[in-house]
A = this chain, B = another copy of it.
Amino acid sequence: MTKNQQWLIDGQPRGRALRESDFKRQSVDLAPLEADCARIRVEVLGFDPSMKGQMENIGYAAATSQGDVMGASGIGEVVESNAPRLKVGDKVLGRLGWQEFADVRAREVQTIPDDDLLTARLGPVGTTGLTAYFGLFRNGRPQPGDTLVVSGAAGATGSIVGQLGRLAGCRVIGIAGGAEKCSWLVDELRYDAAIDYKNEPVKVRLKEFCPDGVDVFFDNVGGSILNDVLARIALNARVVVCGGISRYEAEDLPPGPANYMNLIFQRATMAGFLLTDYAAEFPRAQARLESWIRSGEILHKEDVQQGFENIPATLLRLFSGKNFGKQLLRI
C-alpha cells in the first residue's frame, strides 16, 4: 500500500457533453499520514448530475481546477489513523473523491454504522433524500389532495420525491423515460400514474392525469417538460426548480420555459432552494427517511457499477438516462 490511483479533471465540459477524456488517470505515491488525519480506503462512490456543474465551476459546488482529483461523495473504511476519533475498521462517509485512498481530517468525514443502509447514505438517506425532503416539503408545500407531478421521476431524487408526496397525501404523477421505469413507478413505488416522455405525448397525458391542474411540480429536467407542466399549473401552484438535466449538456444556454407567464394567471410560484440552508435540520430529516426506508414505506433502487477504471463512464450514464436508480460504483 504505497501507491494511490486517482482520476483527475482534465477537461472543461462547459457547453458540451461530458466525455471520458475529460478525466485522466494517475498513480501517485502515498505520503506519510499527517497528524489528526486518517487514511480511508474508498469503497463506494456516489454520482450526481451536479458533478458536471462542479467541473464547470457554476452554481453551488466548490470550485475545481484542471488537475484536481475529481470531487465526489463516497463511503470507505479507515485503514490507518492518527485521529483519536477514527479507528481502523470504521466506516466513514465524506467527500472522498475519485481515488483509491483519501487522506482526510477527522472533522471532514462522518462515521456511519456498517448496516443494511450503508450505501443508502449516499442516496435516499444522504443528500439525495434530503434534497427530495426539503425541496418537496419546504418549497413544494404539498397538502393532502394535491396533484404532485415529478419529472426525472425514476431518478435518485425524483423517486424519493414521489413517495414522500404519497406519504403527504398527494396524487402523484411521475414523468420518466421508458416503459420499464414507468412500470416501476406505478407497480412498485405506487405512483398514481406515470408518463413515458420517450413514447407518450406529455401534454396530452398531463391533461388526462391532472384534470384539475398541477398543484406541485418538482422539476429535475427543465426544457419542454417544464414548459408543458407550466401550461397546466393550478391556482397557487408551487414549481420547485431542483435541476435541469435536459440542459446540462447543451452548447448554448437553452431558452427558458415560454409559459412562465402562466405564473401570473395562476398566482403561482417557481422557486429554487439549496440543501445547505437546511443543515440544522438534517439529523431529524435523515432519521425520518431511515425509518420510512426500514419500514418499506419508501423503496429505493441502486444502480451499482464496478471497478476503478469505470468511474468516468459511470458518471456519463447519468446524462444519457442509462442509470436506473441511485448511481453508485464499487471500486
Query: Which A residues contact B (CB, under 8 angstroms)?
Result: 58-60, 222, 227, 241-244, 247, 253-274, 277
When distances are taken between beta carbons in the complex, the residues of chain B under 8 Å from A227 are: 256
Q: Is the CB of A271 within 8 A of B260?
A: no
Least CB separation from A256: chain B residue? B256
Give Cα A254–Cα B277 distance, bound, in whole angstroms.
Answer: 34
10 A-B contacts, Cβ less than 8 Å apart? A241-B263, A253-B259, A260-B270, A263-B271, A264-B272, A267-B271, A267-B274, A267-B277, A268-B271, A271-B271
How many copies, total? 2
- Min CB distance, A10 to chain B, in Å? 26
Give Cα A262–Cα B256 distance, bound, in whole angstroms.
Answer: 11
Least CB separation from A230: chain B residue? B256
Assess A260 versus B260: contact at CB under 8 Å? Given A265-B272, A267-B277, A272-B265. yes
When distances are taken between beta carbons in the complex, the residues of chain B under 8 Å from A256 are: 227, 255-260
Q: Is the CB of B270 within 8 A of A270?
A: yes
Least CB separation from A243: chain B residue? B264
Least CB separation from A255: chain B residue? B255
Assess A272 versus B277: contact at CB under 8 Å? Given A257-B260, A260-B260, A261-B244. no
Least CB separation from A270: chain B residue? B270
Q: Is the CB of B261 within 8 A of A222?
A: yes
Give Cα A258–Cα B246 distance, bound, in whole angstroms.
Answer: 13
- Min CB distance, A137 to chain B, in Å? 15
Give Cα A272–Cα B236 distance, bound, in whole angstroms.
Answer: 9
Nearest 4 Cβ contacts at the A-B interface: A255-B255, A256-B256, A264-B272, A263-B272
When distances are taken between beta carbons in the complex, the residues of chain B under 8 Å from A266 are: 272
Q: Is the CB of A269 within 8 A of B267?
A: no
